[in-house]
Amino acid sequence: MIDRYARPAMKAIWTDEGRLSRWLEVELAVCEVQAERGHIPADAMAQIRARAAFDPARVAEIESKVRHDVIAFLTEVAERVGPASRFVHYGMTSSDVIDTALALQIRDSGRLLLEGVERVRAVLRRRALEFRHTPCIGRTHGVHAEPTTFGLKLLVFCEEMRRQRVRLARALDEAAVGKISGAVGTFAHLPPELEERVCARLGIGFEPAATQVVQRDRHAAFVTTLALVASSLDKIAVELRHLARTEVREVQEEFGRGQKGSSAMPHKRNPWRLENVSGLARVLRGYAGAALENQALWHERDISNSSVERVVFPDACTLLDFMLDRMAHLIDTLVVFPERMRENLELTRGLAFSGTLLLRLAEKGSSREDAYAVVQRHALEAWDEGGDFRERILAEPVVGALLSKEEIERAFSLEEALRHVDAIFARTLAREGEDS
């Protein structure tokens, strides 16, 4: 991933050094368990512990000749360890190292991603509570619908991020899985008990039944989950981008001192970082497709998945880590205009309450069809010709015959429309402890 979208901690996990250091961690864990089982002499194990190391440049140099990355790595380690290196990689195949180390990278990346999801959820929660009772117009099909609050908009996103955290944790458990079962998964040279002990030592799960590789449905589910999380961030970004439009102007992306929005138009304050989140989500969704393609390998394995994963895993994890950090900051610093929200809510002069009025008429004995006809007629006239919808309704004899002035006023009450907001917050935030 290009540096523009990479944060240091995540980037370090997926560098060549980060990958090779985990290869060495796997090899040493196998040796330690073998030594405990009495299959490596104590002096040889001491040599391995003391000398096992690598230089990424030397590994690359060897690989340019042997054209095999694991062999190049083992050759470099053997040069440093000496005679005791005969016990390193004993009974193993390359995928035992690669896939088990990949599980470590997934595990370590996952910790950062879970922290990122939680940061976004926490700032959404805080700002949802801040604007819990800030009324604004709800929109369906991009058209004014009924009143809501800006806090409820953010609460919906907060709850979605809670679900995404649960999904991500589950996907990490499934994908952070190693195997030390040999060339076709039969444990021809090392016993299943060793695999279980090695994976436990490394803090990951193990593949109960493998071929030469850990099965790629696990990894497809993981990358697909990353795409799901990214799509939730995209969803938030799309909503805020719309609300930042000049015609709407209910929110504004934080604009720093000295910042410039356009090379041609000095007045511009564009939601460019929100647009950036939406764009990067498209990349993540593309990676999910590539990961799904990796599930079908020939027989006990082929290597068609390898080239894909060298791109997809580092990029997907690094991109989502960046996106989460960016979105947490954008929500935290989002400029909100409650007065403008109120102006937009009142823009259609009471039309947002047409549904409530329809129900009040039906409650008083009108057929739904008759009530709909009279309410729609006045609503469309107010929309097309102007004037105040509430005043039109107050002057309508058909309505007046069924509803008192007080009942009509109550039908246009913002407080009445939003009376369950606190209950929605209470039941939603009560779910926060369910997945902890």
> Which residues are tagged catalytic?
141, 262
Q: How many CB atoms lie within 10 A of CB 208?
A: 11
DSSP 12-38: HHTSHHHHHHHHHHHHHHHHHHHHHTT
DSSP 288-337: HHHHHHTT--STT--SHHHHHHHHHHHHHHHHHHHHHHHHHHHHHH-EE-
Cα(226)–Cα(287) distance, integer angstroms: 9
- 310 to each of 57, 146, 317, how far by Cα in Å? 18, 49, 12
* Closest among 80, 67, 100 to 190, alpha carbons compared: 100
Cα(137)–Cα(292) distance, integer angstroms: 40
Where are the alpha helices (H) located in 37-93, listed in sequence order?
Answer: 42-51, 56-66, 69-81
- CA 113, 118, 121: angle at the middle one, nearest 5? 130
Cα(101)–Cα(69) distance, integer angstroms: 14
Q: How many CB atoms lie within 10 A of CB 275?
A: 14
